[in-house]
Structure 1
């Protein structure tokens, strides 16, 4: 009887362990190509692609379409210190592809099959899937204008970048309310707004005309997918936000130039409910929102303080960057100023 009882307990424990874990496969395909040996690695959980470009000491990143047997994304040639774009399709034992230094693929990149290996990995079920972290560039506000018409003309650059263990995380599900074509043409993969210098023939395509004390809504957004199984530490995560604003109507002045470092670990802890806003000390910076005072929280030494709040019970993080500049043509008390606020939000979505 004791032996039967022990067997039942052992069986239940085994079932519980299996229920708490899940498996997935990682497939590594090796090809000899026109530009040397390459390894393409696909994670079955999300068909994310990574890889090694051996002859260039480079890397691949992107996605894999199992139905079309197509790999596509970007590569880095570290010897040339350049990034390019590629598309490969498996056709039997052949790899047929195109590449280019821009999204317009003009060159051929073909190869032949060498080997393919599949590895089965097991992870805790609670750690499967990804955190879909949505970043939205909400708006820009002209606080004070230095133009006589009380309308400042802004060129804005807003680029978040994320690296985990030195691997760049691309942006998916991008949504644009403003200048989609220009962002895709001029900006890096994670750009939500781009900046063109005054005097460049097409700089007016990205220019924002904002009246004093008014806010212009932008609402461009994108999603960074962060695997839940990733162990995130301050040293393994490099999350940065570059924001540049120039006023370019008559004089040209740099109103904002920020390269903020964001604490991904603490942000995810707040957004997933592992930490509350009271877990963080308060910074000496606040705003009035919907009739109540909202104070920034310190996210760690060397990191940008942020507003930790919620909307309809959902936790969100808000950021606000402010800058000002003087008109070089003014003098003393008659010197005009241009000042602006850039607002963004970060949240988790399904």
Structure 2
């Protein structure tokens, strides 16, 4: 069932206050989300190679337990490694053929860490605990049932929207800029554990930013604050160029206090607070569109690590955002779109219990004028969901 109706709420861009957060790739929560999804992609690849199809797995439970370090101006050392626990369910054997699930999981985790965290040695700085076990008979049986489209393994609801507001774009763009290769080449002292919190009041945007400086590049307290000032100027300039705001202001590493030595600066040995300060967990980080937007509808599912062919918590969450975007981009006169998808366990994923679209038309337009085209776009997305699931299995759609 597909329903099309008018969106009755106030657009977020017209609300007086908007709050948007993004956790960067070095944040412990983002590390967990990214790693478990990398494991799912690796397992999907192994299953396809060995059996010609993706088998049951859900790698959506993970905890990154913080380690301990000794650090000071100029460097330091790891005292206790971080510990990454990867858990839930996977398929280990089929017809006498064994899949080295634990080895695949650890290899995928190490590859992601090596590619994304410059100063974390995935061999020396992290211990791995694999807590995966075979799935239940009924959920595993979904993967053995006939049909080109699998049955939903859960009753779950997801929601997506488009377009991103200027605040969402600014918050998302800032973190990507700061963790981009060009910025890191200019400022190797900047760590990956970036947290951006944007507050828009009217047309004014205030950004609170936390980003550690890497100890090996900082010679003293004075050097820290000199480098921080240089970084702040470049970041403020980046924000000032964002469109749609009357004024922007930056609050950068606001816990810092000059004169307190190591106790008054945000210094990191490895670039992530998981080294000694903060643990991470799947599902506590960014939504699949990259932000945590408090004024938007939020689903309850953590998409990261869920299997890409039957777990609607992943499939519908990412698909809802994609459909909302396609509606806005393909239909002239649609200002904003929300898409809600509801599954019923056991029903093929291309037949949701409900697909509801809420449209905000531009002034002078009516929902009735575009409803048929919106319904066609949703229908097309559901009809090609098999191809979309393969894209998910290849990791072509980010989960955080």
Using structure 1 for the length normalisation, give the TM-score. Answer: 0.28
Structure with bigger strand share is 1
Structure index of larger Rg? 1
Using structure 2 for the length normalisation, give the TM-score. Answer: 0.25
